[in-house]
Amino acid sequence: MPLDPAAQRFLAMMAAAASEGRSPSTLGERRQAFAKMMRLARADVAAVTGVDGVMPGPAGDLPYRLYAPADDVTELLPGFVYFHGGGMVGGSIESHDLVAAALAQVTGCRLVSVGYRLAPEHRYPAAVEDAIAATKWVSEQARWLGIDAQRLVVGGDSAGATLAAIICQEALRSGGPAIAAQCLICPVLDFEETSPSRAEFAENHLLDSATLEADLALYLPEGVERGDPRVSPLRAVKFAGLPAAIIHTAEFDPMRDEGNAYAAKLVAAGVAVEHTCHDGMIHNFQAMGAILPQGRLVLHQIGEQVRRAVG
């Protein structure tokens, strides 16, 4: 299908800003611009409650925000450990507040949004170690958080989905914690090879190849292999036994092919997968509900899928 007209207009506006020299250049400016773009999220759900806290991390306390659905009357609900996107160099609990709140409401989960450490201040493996520690902590403290530890979902968008996939693979290798399902939205899963979609949409499709390479250079220290499964989860050697997967990719996303390939590898390994590649959509569309109707619809679709996955 052709690029969605609303998405096309949005990309044209971004291209015009770049040609006029109004694109953010420093990392600080990029972080601010990303946070501004995330305000395009539109939930269309009832208000949820959000409580901030800190959890122990491998290098100090990690911030989190616990969301509960507006109609929350149950002592123990399914849990959702959520990791925001931002290329491992941007994003925050605040930037993804609207998306996280919407996911809590539509999934019926108590959702824990985790503020993991970012590069270049904290390079690999800081974010991975934080994500693993956060998931273990939520599992161990589940009852205190009002979460049923046997119905735990781990998920995220973009780079947050990278972390979610890595967590599931680590849990499989180490024998826990128990994860009922993984939810990967526009996941970034492979830095070892350039897929056809990365080549086709290398420019003017929200994430350009130069930005992706710059982010990776800030994130990865010298000597770390791009094909390491803790960097590129698609390069793992074992997929059988991983949690059931909910995967959403976008037709005009540079990361489309790696997300589709991950879904295919899971299916081949006997893992239950619900996968949708959304026609006409671009990367991060789920957070642009104010301008892309499909961005709102996919959150409700994810809600239904998660509810099925955790009963």
Residue 247's pLDDT is: 99
**pLDDT, one tens digit for every residue, the chain (311 residues):** 899 999 999 999 988 887 777 777 789 999 999 999 998 887 566 678 899 999 999 999 999 999 999 877 778 999 999 999 999 999 999 999 999 999 999 999 999 999 999 999 999 999 999 999 999 999 999 999 999 999 999 999 999 999 999 999 999 999 999 999 999 999 999 999 999 999 999 999 988 999 999 999 999 999 999 999 999 999 999 999 999 999 999 999 999 999 999 999 999 999 999 999 999 999 999 999 999 999 999 999 999 999 999 98
Residue 1's pLDDT is: 83
Domains defined for the chain, CATH in brackets: 5-19+32-310 (3.40.50.1820)
Residue 90's pLDDT is: 97
Catalytic-labelled residue, pool 84, 96, 248, 283? 283
Residue 310's pLDDT is: 96
Residue 253 designated active-site: yes
Residue 47's pLDDT is: 77
Residue 283 designated active-site: yes
Catalytic-labelled residue, pool 157, 190, 215, 253? 253
Residue 72's pLDDT is: 73
Catalytic-labelled residue, pool 92, 95, 113, 158? 158
Helix H, strand E, coil C: the string for the chain is: CCCCHHHHHHHHHHHHHHHCCCCCCCHHHHHHHHHHHHHHCCCCCCCCEEEEEEEEEECEEEEEEEEECCCCCCCCEEEEEEECCCCCCCCCCCCCHHHHHHHHHHHCCEEEEECCCCCCCCCCCHHHHHHHHHHHHHHHCHHHHCEEEEEEEEEEECHHHHHHHHHHHHHHHHCCCCCCEEEEECCCCCCCCCCHHHHHCCCCCCCCHHHHHHHHHHHCCCCCCCCCCCCCHHHCCCCCCCCEEEEEEECCCCCHHHHHHHHHHHHHCCCCEEEEEECCCCCCHHHCCCCCHHHHHHHHHHHHHHHHHHC
Has this prediction a pTM greater than 0.85? yes
Q: What is the pLDDT of residues 235-277, one digit of tens each?
A: 999 999 999 999 999 999 999 999 999 999 999 999 999 999 9
